[in-house]
């Protein structure tokens, strides 16, 4: 997979969804809590990848690539342009090379 870091033109925010009290009535509600941000690039899924994901009910997904970062954990979520996504597939590149990248397959978090 050929990745060009010059294509990392967008910013995303990584964090967790926490239960916080609603300011109006005090009832708990889920809210995205920002931890850190990173530059990323969008990846297009090949037809073969799309067909494979169809077989495991992982449709309507998007892929992004970020530089490898040990702070990114599989239980995190990512916010891009105000939309919160969860990781469907987290594929970190743990090799000890200078330029390594993590591939994240994302699915939008369903609103209650």
* Per-residue pLDDT tens over the stretch 4-24: 777 788 999 999 988 888 888
Give the CATH number, domain containing residue 67: 2.40.10.270
Does residue 59 have a pLDDT over 50?
Answer: yes
Q: Which two tokens stand for residue 76?
A: 């995190």
Does residue 76 have a pLDDT over 50?
Answer: yes
What is the pTM for the complete model shown? 0.77
Task: Name the band, by pLDDT with cuts 50, 70 and 90, for residue 46.
Answer: low
Task: Name the band, by pLDDT with cuts 50, 70 and 90, for residue 34.
Answer: very high
Mean pLDDT for 68-78 is 92
Q: Which of 66, 48, 58 minimizes the C-alpha distance to 12?
A: 66
Note down the domain range covering 95: 5-108
DSSP labels, 62-95: EEEEEE--TT--TT-EEEETTEEEEEEEEE----
Query: Considering its fold, how many domains does the chain have in total?
Result: 1
Q: Is 25 exposed, middle or buried (0-12, 13-18, 19+ CB in 10 A)?
A: exposed
Beta bridge partners of 91: 103
């Amino acid at each position: 997979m050929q990745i060009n870091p010059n294509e990392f033109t967008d910013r995303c925010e990584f964090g967790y969804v926490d239960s916080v009290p609603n300011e109006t009535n005090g009832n708990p509600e889920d809210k995205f809590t920002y931890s850190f941000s990173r530059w990323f690039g969008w990846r297009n899924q090949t037809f073969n990848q799309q067909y494979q994901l169809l077989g495991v009910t992982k449709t309507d997904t998007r892929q992004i690539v970020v530089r490898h970062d040990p702070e990114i954990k599989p239980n995190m979520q990512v916010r891009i342009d105000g939309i919160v996504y969860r990781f469907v597939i987290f594929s970190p590149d743990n090799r000890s090379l200078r330029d390594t990248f993590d591939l994240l397959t994302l699915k939008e978090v369903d609103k209650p």
